[in-house]
Amino acid sequence: MNAKEGDCVRVICKDESIEGVLLPSKEDFITLKLSSGYNLGIERSRIVNIELLQPKTPKPTEKKPIKVSPNLPTISILHTGGTIASKVDYDTGSAGPHFTPEDLLEMFPELSKLANIRSRLVASMWSQDMRFSHYNFLAKEVEREIAQGADGIIIPQGTDYIHYTAAALSFIFESLPIPILIVGAQRSSDRGGSDAALNLLSAIYFMTKTDFAEVGVCMHAHMSDSECWILPGTKCRKMHTSRRDAFRPINEQAWAYVNFLEENITWVRKEYKKKEKKKPVLKLFKDNIKVGLLKTHPNMFAEEFSFFEDYDGLVLEASGLGCLPITEKDEMTRESGRIKHSLSTLLKKGIAIVEAPQTLYGRINMNVYDDQRIAQEMGILGHLCDMTPETAFIKLAWLLSNYKKDKIKELYEKNLRGEISDRSTDYFLV
């Protein structure tokens, strides 16, 4: 078959002939885009011949030069892959990545009125494959852009682990002169109802119109295309697999709502760090730090805890206010005694163990029940913390990367980046 993707072809089968545009295909079947706009898969075993009707016409590659305005701020977009910068090729029906400033201005011409755009692909990865080394890499790329005069940084990323990245960058940057916003898309641009454009445009609009200088997340606030919100990097979480408004603030309010279409920003709270001329200060992760994340559940065994004996730290997703299965009262709870012994052994080996609420909302209080007080006496941390398990995981790994064990005990239960609220609130499933 001499035909290539994008060519118009006639597929001759034993019982019929079908015309369409050749799309990316599998070994056992080919895919055509029909004139109706629908895609059709044809098993190769049915095909007698494929005739080339018309080759794909190459599109001009020359792009218009970008005009730089001295009156506009400069926003750097550091792409890590994902769907947010994909663009549909209507000749083939497929979506491909477009990362250059020229591409973005062609897709979103509104950007030229907001900022001078610098855009490049720094890495291509699934968010679930990210490691501590990726957070260090991104932080250094941000530092590089700041040194080159960027007024704001956008990091497009796959949505599944955005809240991990936002928390990691929040802790890495002890001093940050400009804003960093992590932006994703629940629906790619080749699907109806994509949220990619509004998320990106809202993030850039917010950066160019405010003096905000924190790490945050910008995603849809509602299912409709009415507005996005700016969420705190250490106090948000993905709460739905597919909804456009999947991200929610946890135990805290959003910083602001952004209505890009109406050019309006509504502040919810104004206690944030502001832009200023200073050098960023970074404290990075150690790549080889090993931190576990274990959800407590009924019928646990001591081996589930002793598994982490060669780790540096362990986050326990505790039930309720911070309960652990460590109370032996009768024959049926004898395993709870073994679990307590396993945890004591880990602590004696110097492994840092902390609690976070598996309920997500609310605060750990280790003074209410006997097992909680025993856990505190053993050396398990987390009392009065309302961090999500994901933020607790990131914070513990970052502390282990930068401080000695005695200092970690002091800093873990101390609010460093807005990860621990000063007081409990009623912000439940906002």
pLDDT in tens, 313-372: 999 999 999 999 999 999 999 999 999 999 999 999 999 999 999 999 999 999 999 999
* Torsions phi, psi for 213 (to 5 deg): -145, 60
* Local confidence band at 125 (pLDDT 50, 70, 90 cut-offs): confident
Give the closest residue to 199 by CA, choosing from 179, 172, 221, 170: 221
**Gap between the Cα atoms of 268 and 249, Å rounded:** 12
Helices (DSSP H) in 130-195: which residue ranges?
Answer: 132-147, 162-172
Lowest mean pLDDT among 66-80, 147-161, 322-336: 66-80
How many Cα neighbours within 13 Å face the side chain of 180? Answer: 29
pLDDT in tens, 4-32: 888 899 999 988 999 998 988 877 888 98
CA-to-CA separations, 396 to 243, 356, 399, in angstroms, rounded = 30, 11, 5
Cβ atoms of 35 and 79 closer than 8 Å: no
Catalytic, out of 89, 160, 225, 245: 160
Q: Average the pLDDT over 122-128 and give the result.
A: 85
pLDDT in tens, 231-246: 999 999 999 999 999 9
**Gap between the Cα atoms of 253 and 5, Å rounded:** 48
**Gap between the Cα atoms of 162 and 186, Å rounded:** 12
Query: Is 235 labeled as catalytic in the residue annotation?
Result: no
Query: Is 159 labeled as catalytic in the residue annotation?
Result: yes
Cβ atoms of 230 and 181 closer than 8 Å: yes
Give the closest residue to 309 by CA, choosing from 351, 276, 246, 366: 351
Query: Is 287 labeled as catalytic in the residue annotation?
Result: no
Cβ atoms of 355 and 380 closer than 8 Å: yes
Give the closest residue to 346 by CA, choosing from 302, 385, 409, 390: 302
pLDDT (0 to 100) of residue 85: 55
Sign of CA pseudo-dihedral 401, 234, 239, 180: negative
Catalytic, out of 83, 165, 210, 234: 83
Cβ atoms of 303 and 324 closer than 8 Å: no
Catalytic, out of 74, 80, 92, 159: 159
95: pLDDT strictly greater than 60:
no
Q: Model pTM?
A: 0.85
Cβ atoms of 356 and 293 closer than 8 Å: no
**Gap between the Cα atoms of 232 and 387, Å rounded:** 12
Give the closest residue to 338 by CA, choosing from 300, 388, 288, 283: 300
Give the closest residue to 213 by CA, choosing from 160, 248, 169, 257: 169
Instruction: Give 228's DSSP letter.
Output: E
Task: Give burial (CB, 10 Å; 0-12/13-18/19+) of 345.
Answer: middle
Cβ atoms of 92 and 23 closer than 8 Å: yes
Instruction: Give 221's DSSP letter.
Output: S
pLDDT (0 to 100) of residue 115: 92
Q: Give 8-54's CATH code, choosing from 2.30.30.520, 3.40.50.300, 1.10.3210.10, 1.10.40.30.
A: 2.30.30.520
pLDDT in tens, 176-192: 999 999 999 887 665 66
**Gap between the Cα atoms of 386 and 332, Å rounded:** 32
Q: Average the pLDDT over 246-272 and give the result.
A: 95
pLDDT in tens, 382-422: 999 999 999 999 999 999 999 999 999 999 999 999 999 98
**Gap between the Cα atoms of 315 and 407, Å rounded:** 17
Residue ranges covered by each domain of the chain:
8-54, 74-282, 291-412
Helices (DSSP H) in 329-369: which residue ranges?
Answer: 334-348
Q: Average the pLDDT over 127-143 and give the result.
A: 96
Q: Please name the CATH architecture into which domain 74-282 falls.
A: 3-Layer(aba) Sandwich (3.40)
* Torsions phi, psi for 123 (to 5 deg): -165, 155
Topology of the domain comprising 291-412: Rossmann fold (3.40.50)
Same fold, 8-54 and 74-282: no
